Amino acid sequence: MNRDLSTMRMHLRSRTAIWMPAIALIFAGCQGNGRIATVPVTGTVTVDGKPLEQGTITFESPGKRPASGEIKAGNIVNVTTYNPGDGVPVGNHKIAITATAASATVAVPKDPGQPMVVDANYMGVGQSLIPARYNNPATSGLTAEIKSTGKNSLQLELQSK
């Protein structure tokens, strides 16, 4: 019986010796944050040759997390995939741009306790500053190849018509 117990322990150790490295490799892969490399992106966005005053830019690529940033005074800034300003995943991307004018409409009831009467812009969405086709990466016609080395500076020229 003692010999059977000894044989069983040896057999268990040999199986452990086989499986432990495999399990360690699996967990090592899972312990990573699962994030793909990102690189900073800058550039400009113009409409008919004039800087787009404000807006949002989104980068999409199949199988990758999308990145988005701001457009301020025609400049692409704060592009983020995971953490603020970390950039865009390397690869080919379709781009969407949205830009709306600030709405002066504020939903305020005339009499307290009465329901508000609001128009379509009651949330302050405002009117689009660019053609709607640019709002969707599938229809915008805008693309970019983001490289792992070198400067990723984009010049995007939008047309109002």
Least confident of 12-26, 55-69, 84-98, 144-158: 12-26
8 A C-beta contact, residue 74 and residue 80? no
Q: How confident is the model at residue 10 (pLDDT cuts 50, 70, 90)?
A: low
Rg over alpha carbons for the chain, rounded to the nearest Å, is 27
Q: What is the pLDDT of residue 22?
A: 47
Q: How far apart are CA 111 and CA 159, in angstroms?
A: 45
Q: Which CATH class is domain 38-158?
A: mainly beta
The answer to whether residues 66 and 73 touch, using CB atoms and an 8 Å cutoff, is no
DSSP designation for 36:
P
Least confident of 36-40, 42-46, 88-92, 124-128: 124-128
What pLDDT score does 4 carry?
64
Over residues 137-145, the mean pLDDT reads 96
The Cα 95–Cα 105 span in angstroms is 30
Task: Give the whole-angstrom CA distance, residue 102 versus residue 80.
Answer: 23
**Which residue from 155, 152, 46, 133 is spatially nearest to 92, judged by alpha carbons?**
152
Domain borders along the chain are 1-32, 38-158
Average pLDDT, stretch 48-53? 96
For residue 121, give both structure tokens: 């812009």
Rounded Cα distance, 154 and 59, in Å: 12
Q: Give pLDDT tens digits for 61-105.
A: 998 999 999 999 999 999 999 999 999 999 999 999 999 986 544
The closest alpha carbon to 41, from 154, 155, 124, 156, belongs to 154
Whether the pLDDT of residue 53 is over 90: the answer is yes
